[in-house]
Amino acid sequence: MWGWVADAATRGWARALTAVVVVAVAAIVGVLSAGSPDTALLVAFGVFTIGVLVVDPTLLPVFALPATLLMARVGGLLSISDVVLAGATILAIILVRGGEMRSMAPLFWGGAAYLAAALPTTILNPYSQNIIEWVHEAVLVLGSLAVGFAVGRLGRARLATQLYILGCVGVAIVTIITGMGLLAQTGSFGPVYLPELHKNLIGSALAGGIVILYGRPKWYSIAPVWAWSAIVLCGVGVLASQSRQAMIGLAAGLVVVAMRRNPETGRFPKLPWLAAIPIAIGVLQLVGDQLASDDRFNSAYQRLDWYDQSIAIWQNSPWFGVGLRWWYTGRFGGGFQPPNAELEVLSSVGVVGLIGFAIMFVVGIITLWRIDPAYGTVGAAVVISRIVQAQFDLYWVAGQSSWLWIIAGLCIGALEHDRARARADAQGMGSGTPVYLRRSGV
């Protein structure tokens, strides 16, 4: 009896101490936010991270996927998405033994091929931003693959995806409300920009959410009524953002899903084809109207101008490019990031780098397409959707250049988890969690 009382008293003191710490941290963050919002954000994020690590270390990689929606800068340098991904990468490497990642070898080699091809430009164009961005891209690709695999292998695929979808629904609701507000104020619809979220980033994130929801992979079970409700909200959000690039990417992703039989019905889905046709017609009509306009400064003409300038810059160093993030160096006049994945890569790392970039995507898509369709189809659709969108938009953007590879790794990790669980069930062990994690209590 007295032992129970002592335990209760200990728990009471623990709760009280926790409450005091929470209040103290809240007060510190409040004071800092008045004079230094960036510092306040950094402190709050650090406390949150420590809390997650104390409660359950495997949760940090889980947050890397929904964090791709958080573009606010920590300390004015890195986005929250980048910081979470970096921490999650370290933890993923610790939590998952290297031998368990053998099934990820093609994806890792594909990513390494691009990074190796991009390495010469860091030597030929020695400036700090060039080297920093190479490391950044290594984390965005290889780190994201490792994090995604760890999340799936540890049985956290559904949780991570659910958090991402909830984030997308929240963004969609705010986007719709903002769009309706613009309509009420101006009498017409206009593109929606949210704090730290560009309209194309909004559209891309929501389009990715729709592809996952419609594909309903085996690792993400959700009731049809909730799935369709979220699809409708995210779809309206994409329309409200007025991101034509996201609409094209969405159509491509849905078509990829439609190329495989539905595991539940055994039939090929028809809805994606019906949705892709009006999307393609609508986007073509909008672009045609802009090209026929006398306004030479609209987005269509601006992109054509940037394409020409990107090619001219690339010609300064055709084979190895002029350096990563060259638009921040001031060497080529007014800086702009090319709104096309191939031109961005070509001007930065040259023909050699572009070949590596193509290898990375081709290997990734083929690998995902060849695994069990219940796991890999959505992964392939997400990767294709993103690269199609990037034909008309920026590719190397924090969050949006990592989340597709997180999903790719997650697909394979979830498949490995379910295979391990099936083997464990057959042997009477009843768990797909790695033995060394079960023994450690993680």
* Better-predicted residue by pLDDT, 220 or 423: 220
Q: Is 182 exposed, middle or buried (0-12, 13-18, 19+ CB in 10 A)?
A: middle
The pLDDT-based confidence of 427 (bands split at 50, 70, 90) is confident
DSSP structure class, residue 197:
B
Type of residue at 3: G
pLDDT at 30 over 50: no
Distance of alpha carbon 376 from alpha carbon 367, whole angstroms: 8
- What phi and psi, each to the nearest 5 degrees, are found at residue 78? -100, 150
Q: Residue for token digits 């049809």?
A: 224
Best CA proximity match to 66, nearest among 192, 212, 223, 193 = 212
Measure the CA dihedral 313/314/320/322, to 10°. Answer: 20
Q: What is the mean pLDDT of residues 398-415?
A: 94
In sequence order, what are the beta bridge partners of 74? 78
The pLDDT-based confidence of 312 (bands split at 50, 70, 90) is very high
Best CA proximity match to 310, nearest among 320, 322, 319 = 322
Q: Are 207 and 253 in contact (CB under 8 A)?
A: yes
- For residue 54, the model assigns a pLDDT of 61
Type of residue at 259: M
Model confidence, pTM: 0.86
- For residue 14, the model assigns a pLDDT of 47
DSSP structure class, residue 320:
T
* Better-predicted residue by pLDDT, 272 or 11: 272
Q: Residue for token digits 């103290």?
A: 24
Distance of alpha carbon 237 from alpha carbon 215, whole angstroms: 19
Total residues belonging to the chain: 442
- What phi and psi, each to the nearest 5 degrees, are found at residue 320? -120, 0
Q: Output the CA torsion sign for 388, 391, 396, 399.
A: negative
Q: Residue for token digits 């101490």?
A: 17
Which residue blocks in 315-340 are alpha helix, DSSP H? none
Distance of alpha carbon 189 from alpha carbon 210, whole angstroms: 23
Distance of alpha carbon 228 from alpha carbon 210, whole angstroms: 9
In sequence order, what are the beta bridge partners of 73? 79
The pLDDT-based confidence of 325 (bands split at 50, 70, 90) is very high
